[in-house]
Structure 1
Amino acid sequence: MTYSIKATIRGWWAPEHRLTCPAILWRQIVSELHRRGERWHEAGAFLLGVEKNGRREVRSAVYYDDLDSNAYSTGVCVLYGDAFSELWGRCRAERLTVVADVHTHPDTGFQSHADKTNPMVARAGHVAIILPDFARWPIRESRMGVYEYQGQHEWINRSPDRAQNFFYTGFWS
C-alpha cells in the first residue's frame, strides 16, 4: 500500500523526470565519491537500477575502484575491459542494469573532450553525471553536468540549468 501511495505522489510531484535517485542514496553516493577522490583526484561510479516506462530509477552504485583498483591511478577515471566484465556480472546477479554513471571533476561539472569521446557506456540513452569540486557537499545544481548519450559521440546537455525536469534526487523517487 505504501508503495502505491508513494508512486502516485511521485507521479504528481516529479512526473517528467527521466532519471531518479532517492535523496538518502544520492547523498551516500556523493559522499563516497568525495571520500574516494581524496579531495585531489577524480572518482566515479556506475549507478545501477531499473528502467520502467522510459524512466530510470537508481537503486545502488558500484564504484570504479571496486571494479579496478587502478581506476584512479592517473588522476582521472580510467577503466579497462576486465572491470566491465565484473560490472556486467554484478548487474546480472542483482538483476539491475546500468542506468547512469557519475564522476567528479575539480571545478565545474563540464563535459571534457575525453568524457565526450569516451562514454563509459556507449549506448544511446546512457546518462553521464559530472559533479563539481570533487563532490564536495553541498553541490549546487547550476555547477553539475548531466548529459545523455545519443550515439556517434553526440550528447544532449540535460544539466539542471537546461533541463530542470530530467534528474530528480528527492524523497519521492
Structure 2
Amino acid sequence: MLVHKLEISKPLWQQLIRDLARTGMGVKESGAFLLGNMEPSRVVTEYLLYSDIAPDSQHVNYVLLRGRHMAKVWDICELRKLRVVADIHTHPGVPIQSPSDRDNPIVSIAGHVALIVPNFAKGLVVPSSLGFHEFQGQGEWRSWFRGEAAALLNITG
C-alpha cells in the first residue's frame, strides 16, 4: 500500500488556487501539473497549468489532455530538471473522482497523486476540503478526505 505525502509552500499554494479559480472562471474544470522533486520527499516547487500546455483542454465536466500535451510537460520537466510529483484539478462539486478520473490517471504509475479541489476552487480552499487520491497501479486508487487529506498535504511557511 502506497502513501506519498506532498509539501508545498503557502505562497505557491495560494497562487495555484487563485490560478485554478481564474482559469476555470467558476464554470469549468481547470488543473495543473505539480512539479518538483521526489527525493527525499515530494516537494512541489512550481506548477504548469493545463490551460498553458493545452489551451483547448478545459470543458465544463472534464479536462482533455492528449499525448502531444504530455510531451510538452515531459520536455519542460527535462529542461528544468524537475518531475511531475502530482496533479491537481477542480470539480464543480465534491472532491471525489469521476469514473473518467479513475480510468484515466494523468500519470499511470503506482504512487502518482491526484488532488481534486471542490467547487471550481471558488471560496476558501484548505487541505481538508480536498480529495487526495493516490494511484495504486492496475486501475486501483486509494482516496483520503477531510482530516486524512489534510495530513497528507503539508503547506509550509
Match of 2:27 in 1: 40
- Report if the CA contact (8 A) 1:20-1:58 is conserved: yes
Q: 2:146, 2:36 → 1: CA distance? A: 21
- Give the deviation of 1:111 after TM superposition: 1.1
- Give the deviation of 1:137 after TM superposition: 3.0
Map of 1:8-47 to 2, 5 A cutoff? 18-47=5-34
Map of 1:115-130 to 2, 5 A cutoff? 115-130=101-116
Q: Any stretches of 5+ residues in structure 1 without a counterpart? A: 1-15
TM (norm. structure 1) is 0.84
Match of 2:132 in 1: 146
- Report if the CA contact (8 A) 1:146-1:160 is conserved: no
Show CA shifts across 1:115-140 (max 9, x none): 11110000111000000110113124
Closer, same or farther: CA 23–113 of 1 in aligned 2, 3 Å: same
Q: 2:91, 2:25 → 1: CA distance? A: 12
Establish whether residue 167 from structure 1 lines up as the match of residue 146 from structure 2.
no
Establish whether residue 95 from structure 1 lines up as the match of residue 78 from structure 2.
no
TM (norm. structure 2) is 0.92
Moved more, 64-73 or 145-154: 64-73
3-state SS of 2:136 partner: strand
Closer, same or farther: CA 104–136 of 1 in aligned 2, 3 Å: same
Establish whether residue 76 from structure 1 lines up as the match of residue 55 from structure 2.
no
Q: 1:34, 1:18 → 2: CA distance? A: 24
- What is the aligned-residue RMSD (CA, Å)? 1.8
Instruction: Look up the equivalent residue of 1:38 and give its one-letter code.
Output: M
Moved over 2 A (4+): 140-143, 158-165
Q: 1:170, 1:69 → 2: CA distance? A: 31
Q: Any stretches of 5+ residues in structure 2 without a counterpart? A: none
3-state SS of 1:35 partner: helix
Among residues 126, 137, 141, which one is paired with 2:123 in the alignment? 137
Instruction: Look up the equivalent residue of 1:48 and give its one-letter code.
Output: L
Number of residues paired by the alignment?
A: 155
